[in-house]
Amino acid sequence: MSRFSNHDPDSSSSSSPSADDLDSDHGVGLSNPLLSQGRRRMLDLVNRLHNTGVQIDIDLPQIAVIGSQSAGKSSLIESISGISLPRAAGTCTRCPTECRLARSDAPWKCIVELRFITDKNGQTLGQARNESFGDPIFSKSEVEDRIRRAQRAILNPSKASRNFLDDDDEEVPEVSFSTNYISLQISGPEVADLSFVDLPGLIASVSRGGNERDIAMVESLVTSYICKPSCVILLTVACETDFENQGAHHLTKKYDPEGKRTIGVLTKPDRIPRGDEESWLPLIRNEQEVLENNWYCVKQPSSQDLKQGITWEEARSRENDFFSMTAPWSELDPMYQKYLRTTNLVDRLSSILSDLISKRLPQIQIELENTIQKTRTGLQQLPKPPSSDAVGEIATLLHVFVADLHKLLEGVPNAEGLLQVIRPAQERFRRDIRNTAPDFRPFKERWSPEAPTPFQEPQFLSNEDGYEDSAGQLPPTAKIPIYINEVMDRALAARTRELPGHYPFVVQKSFIVEFTAKWASPAQVLCRVVHTTLSQHVKALITHHFSSFGQGGLEQRVTILVQDYMNQRALATQDLISKLIALEEDGPLTLNEHYLADYKSKFMSYYKGAREKIQNPVLATAIEAYRPEQPLPTDPYGNQIPLTGIAQVLSSLASVGLSGVHAEDLVKLLSPDRMDPALNIMSDVRAYFQVAYKRIADNIPLAIDRELVRGVGRELLPALYSGLGMNGTDGVRICHELAQESPSVAGKREELLKRLERLETASRELVRVGL
């Protein structure tokens, strides 16, 4: 039996039907079938949208009843919906109770479900879990008890919900409040399509029956509803308590500061202390705490009335009598009388909610389309779902990866490409090898005053090596100079049975061995740098191809296998480098005799010229000043003036058949220098360095490129197949294990698919009604 009726559940009243009888000719409040067809169509649509669950993603119009503890919220819901909720002293609502009303031609029915959004430990679930709570209810008198039991099930999350359908043991609940909620799906001929929710009462302080955690939880729960712009807030304020002490009003002001979507409801006006009634009238006249939709005042049955089984008709009649005969309510101007009584409140609420729905529907359609597109984009950004052919899928991934790896190794036209990134290291290697050149000085010891400072290497080297400074000169190095007297001393010390003026080739060889011994270190450094850079690029490529596949196992396995393969190639490359260096260290050898002879001639001329600057400065200055490209001098009458100086000497030599002589070669015509043997050794060694250094500067990078860079791409695919075990007897099982999608990606995909299903279902509902 409902608290509003002592009659049979199927009985009816001609004027004000009971909560147990919605089969009469007139519904209650929003259930009134006399609402316009357009309004009902919109309410039907919003209710169907709620049924799709799209309110998780889109802000749908909804009524939320809030207030402090025992503020009369449950009575308001009964007036609005026509159903009875549990009632008790203090806090009786300890979890949200959502009501989904749906008009139907079938007999009245109520389905109770439990909606879990957190687990028993309070952790948020990825997807809400719905549980049916008992069989459908066909008698309204059973609803209150079922809701009470459902709330006990919500507040005891570690126990099976079905146990509470028949268990009458009122034990202490495991939690005081819960964000999990009860959902009532009510349908019948006189039920309007509407959704609203009754929220737990805000707790004023610990002394009022809660603790700090409960106070914060309830406030957070209420906030999660009323912060939404399409939530119509029914703010209940009990007149038996000072207005300023009611926290629900302050919370409402925070989220609806202009009062555009709040309807204030004063309850329990019969409990106002005598003489204080006038203090509440400014609210009804909207002179205090102004709300766009005004304040209302209602009087609901007392607990004693309910125990006596007051009917709905009697309740409304007593409410009418109270406001008609009790001052100061009865003395209000007629324009304010419409803000008194429950019927006026629910009629106004119907209009407000309908207007809100009418305004929101076009926006809802836009938000739906935008959210659908965003969800589809999110799905597209996820990796492809696992294929039923795991072996084929992994094989395809490996082939595509190896193909992209070959492109990387061959070179891509990008500043961040592998070959572009390792080129500076190759240039550093060439400079390091170039800097091992012996720094011969054609002068005596370093303290000799005749030695020029600084000593620059010859200009012809800058034209070939490309390391000249802004002045076109090779920069001086920090190498230890080797002076001509040191070379001569070594040559003299090496003589055995040679004829006078002859020196063994071992002298040149000793200098050559000294600089070739320095080549191993920069060569191995280059190998390590290329290996590190290559590893970084390959690792990034592996991540790009495999990171979103499976649970990361394939990426990890491929990374290990490729790193092992690269390490093998690096060892092979180091061995080849060692062999190439050993070839140079075993002794000098070249078949490029012309190249060697040309360099020896140039160095001999350069060293002798440098000595002649000191020993024969006049000739050295004339050679430096000579410019063969200058035209022959003429007198004022255009006659050529006879040649003089270096030009005359070269012309004379050409006349006797020595046309290939250059100005710098003239120093060779001077009388023998006692240091000529040392100059010959220096020229030999320096010429051979130019041959050997350019050879090694090419061969080492070539070896690294072939054995390490390109070598990684050779035979890698078979190595991956073998390493992964794809060709073995367990290949299918291994591939299935590797193809498993990671829980995070799978969960994200499931969440997006469910969201897309909700959104598309809601979108179809809008299309179906022509919106």
Mean pLDDT computed over 464-486: 67
Which of these three, 344, 373, 402, is where a domain ends?
Answer: 373
Find the range with the poorest average confidence among 72-76, 254-258, 503-507, 687-691.
Answer: 72-76
**pLDDT (0 to 100) of residue 571:** 96
Both 577 and 609 in one domain: the answer is yes
CA 545/CA 332 separation, integer angstroms:
77
Report how far residue 235's alpha carbon sits from residue 267's, in angstroms, rounded to the nearest whole number. Answer: 10
* Structure confidence at residue 1 (pLDDT): 42
pLDDT on residue 176: 82
Q: Omega of the bond prior to 328 within 30 degrees of 0, cis?
A: yes
Q: Which of 162, 166, 143 is nearest to 153 (CA)?
A: 162
> In the structure, what pLDDT confidence band is assigned to residue 307 with cuts at 50, 70 and 90?
confident
Does position 512 have pLDDT exceeding 90, yes or no? yes
Please tell me the least confidently modeled range out of 60-69, 279-288, 601-610, 633-642. Answer: 633-642
What pLDDT was estimated at residue 661?
72
Q: 0.75 exceeded by the pTM?
A: no
148 contacts: CB under 8 Å, gap ≥ 6: 86
Confidence of residue 591 (pLDDT cuts 50, 70, 90): very high
Which of 224-233, 508-517, 748-757 comes out lowest in average pLDDT? Answer: 748-757
User: Is residue 197, in this structure, part of any structural domain at all?
Assistant: yes
pLDDT digits (tens, 9 = 90+) for 481-495: 899 999 999 999 999
* Domain's final residue, options 313, 339, 373: 373
Q: Is the dihedral of CA 382, 385, 390, 396 positive or negative?
A: negative
Regarding predicted confidence, which is higher, 745 or 266? 266
| DSSP states along 188-232 | ETT---EEEEE-PPBP--GGGT--HHHHHHHHHHHHHHHTSTTEE
> In CATH, what number is assigned to the domain containing residue 433?
1.20.120.1240
Is there a domain that residue 249 lies in?
Answer: yes
Range with lowest mean pLDDT among 235-244, 284-293, 583-592: 235-244
Q: With 60 as the cut, is the pLDDT of residue 179 above it?
A: yes
The residue with tokens 């209420």 is 222
Asked if pLDDT for residue 545 goes beyond 50, the answer is yes
- Where does the pLDDT of residue 667 fall: very low under 50, low under 70, confident under 90, or very high at 90 and above? low
Residue 348 resides in a domain? yes
Mark whether 525 and 587 lie in a shared domain: yes
- List of residues 6+ apart from 643 with CB closer than 8 A: 632, 651
Is the pLDDT at 45 greater than 90? The verdict is: no
Cα–Cα distance for residue pair 452/665, rounded to 1 Å: 21
Question: Is position 319 within any domain?
Answer: yes
Helices (H), 36-115: 37-51, 73-81
Provide the CATH number for the domain around residue 237: 3.40.50.300
Q: Does 236 score more than 80 pLDDT?
A: yes
Whole-number percent of the chain with pLDDT over 90:
34
Long-range CB contacts (within 8 A, 24+) of 379-387: 379/749, 379/752, 379/753, 379/756, 382/548, 382/745, 382/748, 382/749, 382/752, 383/548, 383/549, 383/741, 383/745, 385/741, 385/749, 386/550, 386/739, 386/740, 386/741, 387/739
201 pLDDT tier (thresholds 50, 70, 90): confident
Check residue 7 and give its pLDDT.
38
Say whether pLDDT at 468 is over 60: no
At residue 16 the predicted structure's pLDDT band, cuts being 50, 70 and 90, is: very low
Are 287 and 421 within one domain? no
Q: Are residues 347 and 441 in the same domain?
A: no
Dump pLDDT digits (tens) for 549-558: 777 788 889 9
- Residue-level pLDDT at 194: 61
pLDDT computed for residue 671 by the predictor: 64
Question: Is residue 16 a contact partner of residue 316, using CB atoms and an 8 Å limit?
Answer: yes
Question: Per-residue pLDDT for 615 more than 50?
Answer: yes
- Predicted confidence band of residue 749 (pLDDT cuts 50, 70, 90): confident
Number of domains in the chain: 2
CB contact set of 237 (below 8 Å; sequence gap of 6+): 67, 68, 71, 243, 246, 248, 249, 264, 265, 266, 267
Distance CA 167, CA 182 (A): 18
Same domain membership, residue 457 and residue 352: no
Which strand (E) or helix (H) includes residue 97?
A: strand 97-103
Asked whether the predicted pLDDT for residue 230 surpasses 50, the reply is: yes
Residue 417 and residue 199: Cα distance in Å, rounded? Answer: 61
Q: How far is CA 170 from CA 92, 167, 174, 536, 769, in A?
A: 14, 8, 12, 65, 48
Of the candidates 460, 449, 454, the one whose C-alpha atom is nearest the C-alpha of residue 439 is 454
- Decide if 633 is inside a domain: no
Q: Which phi and psi (to 5°) does residue 416 adopt?
A: -95, 5
Choosing from 373, 406, 422, the residue where a domain stops is 373
User: Which stretch of 161-175, 209-223, 246-260, 465-479 has the lowest confidence by average pLDDT?
Assistant: 465-479
pLDDT in tens, 85-134: 776 544 567 888 888 777 778 898 999 999 887 777 777 665 567 789 99
pLDDT for residue 30 is more than 80: no
The Cα 46–Cα 328 span in angstroms is 40
Does residue 484 share a domain with residue 447?
yes
Q: Determine, yes or no, domain membership for 647.
A: no
- Note the pLDDT of residue 432: 94
pLDDT for the residue 13: 33
| Distance, CA of 115 to CA of 118 (rounded, Å) | 9
Single-letter code of the amino acid located at 7: H
Q: What is the pLDDT of residue 399?
A: 94
User: Do 364 and 490 fall into the same domain?
Assistant: no
pLDDT tops 80 at residue 603: yes
Q: Considering the chain, what is the average pLDDT of its residues?
A: 81
Residues 605 and 691 in one domain: yes
Range of the domain at 442: 394-616+670-736
**Does residue 80 fall inside a structural domain?**
yes
Q: 160: left (phi > 0), else alpha (psi -120 to 50), else beta? A: beta
Q: Where are the alpha helices (DSSP H) in 308-341?
A: 312-325, 334-337
User: What pLDDT score was predicted for residue 648?
Assistant: 67
* Judgement on whether residues 712 and 586 belong to the same structural domain of the protein: yes
- Quick one: pLDDT at residue 135? 92
Q: Which pLDDT score, from 0 to 100, does residue 642 have? A: 59
Instruction: Look at residue 345 and tell me if it is in a domain.
Output: yes
Inform me whether the pLDDT recorded for 680 exceeds 90: yes
**Residue 432 and residue 368 share a domain:** no
Q: Which pLDDT value is given to residue 538?
A: 96
- Domain match, 409 and 365 both: no
Residue with tokens 């320096």: 686
Mean pLDDT of 326-346: 89
What's the pLDDT at 303?
Answer: 73
Average pLDDT estimate for 280-309: 87
Reported as half-sphere exposure (CB side, CA atoms, 13 A), residue 462 has a value of: 13
- pLDDT at site 537: 95
Q: Please indicate, yes or no, whether residues 608 and 474 belong to a single structural domain of this protein.
A: yes
Could you report the per-residue pLDDT of 343-352, keeping only the tens digit for each?
A: 888 788 877 8
